[in-house]
Structure 1
Amino acid sequence: MIKELIVVEGKSDTAAVKRAVDADTIETGGSAVDRRVIAKIALAAERRGVIILTDPDHAGERIRKIVSSKVPGCKHAFIPEEEATLKGDIGVENASPEAIRHALKHVHTSFEGAPVLIGMDDLLAAGMIVHPHAAQRRMALGNALGIGYCNGKQLYKRLAMFGITPEEFGAAVRQIEQGGQS
């Protein structure tokens, strides 16, 4: 059994998580997360801890930001978009049990006020910003590091927030280069 409660968007996500692992979930009911749901998540964070596992799309990112801004100390699990897509529909409910287990094994904890270990100049040198294939490279990097896809500014913040080291960043960039990602 996973100790932490897993924050998901809806009933289908809960069913998918329960097929993959023995865990309790809290459903946000969509991207308009109301104060009662936030109160439940805050209590869960205090008592057992919380892992946010939302869809790898805009709405999922919005929920992740809302919850983590109101409930500090949340852990984050990410499923790559290609592992959560079925017939054009993106969501946790479409992910295989293996993909969900992998995401939950590789959670990241956000650190408020974390020191910046990887700067914008590092992102530029690695082709993560101002590069013809920067979006594809960020997608591959997010998948390699298990931090999800984001734009350049969010990537900079996320690398600091999750305490990604220069060594981890460098290894992921080398993996992208060897994999032939532009």
Structure 2
Amino acid sequence: MKEKNKIIVVEGMMDKIKINSFLKVPIIITNGSAVSEKTLNLIKKLSLNNEIIIFTDPDFQGKRIRKIISESLNNNCKHAFIKKELATKGKKIGVAEANIKDLKESLAKIYNIENNNKICLTWNDFINLKIYNDKKLRFKICDYLNIEKCNNKSFFKWVNLLSINKIQLKQIIIEVHNELNKNN
């Protein structure tokens, strides 16, 4: 089977210019929060033969746009995330504000978010992995996954949306602990 071409969806022209400065892939611009039906239809059509990667800003509007596009594709898309603190310059927050190194790292971690209510990690597994009472560890794992820092309930939902099972999460915890020990 032929590998699908990748197409990245971003919010604005500056995002496209920044990404195309180091990665030559087709990029669709949503023109900010006003995602038109025309743009959604184009993305849907392209998704039939291409892999769509949504890479929006780590702010409220970016999350809103991500949700609109993802739902219009019945979650038949992938996601890249950049942490807010890496995409902030002054008062501006966005993909275009991030440095190239951080953008490359973000685009190296692509997630397929499942919306089939599949449970990869049970609440008991979550408690037994000792993440529940360790906010610092939970936040470090969020950093590792390139998702926003969140509370236990949201973290648990993210892990299941990202289809991360108990064994995978244990491995991530080991890697995060090794990184923490290396920095101490």
State TM-score, norm by structure 1. Answer: 0.81
Shift of 1:177: 4.9
- Supply the distance in 1 between the matched residues of 2:154 and 2:33 (Cα, whole angstroms): 19
CA offset digits 1:80-117 (Å, max 9, x no partner)? 22221212422100112222222222211123326312
Structure 2, gaps ≥5 residues long: none
Higher Cα radius of gyration: 2
Structure 1, gaps ≥5 residues long: none
Using a 3 Å threshold, how does the CA distance of structure 1 residues 154 and 38 change in structure 2: closer, same or farther? Answer: farther
Alignment of 1:111 onto 2:117: no
Alignment of 1:133-152 (within 5 A): 134=135, 137-152=137-152
Corresponding residue of 1:13? 15
**8 Å Cα contact 2:5/2:49 also seen in 1:** no
Alignment of 1:120 onto 2:123: yes
State TM-score, norm by structure 2. Answer: 0.80
> Secondary structure at 1:78's aligned position in 2?
coil
Bigger drift between 104-113 and 11-20 goes to 104-113
Alignment of 1:5-44 (within 5 A): 5-44=7-46
Corresponding residue of 1:158? 158
The number of residue pairs the alignment matches comes to: 177
What CA RMSD, in Å, does the superposition of the two structures yield over aligned residues? 2.7
Identical-residue share of aligned pairs (%): 28
**8 Å Cα contact 1:20/1:100 also seen in 2:** no
Bigger drift between 161-170 and 113-122 goes to 113-122
Q: Aligned to 1:90, which of 93, 106, 109?
A: 93
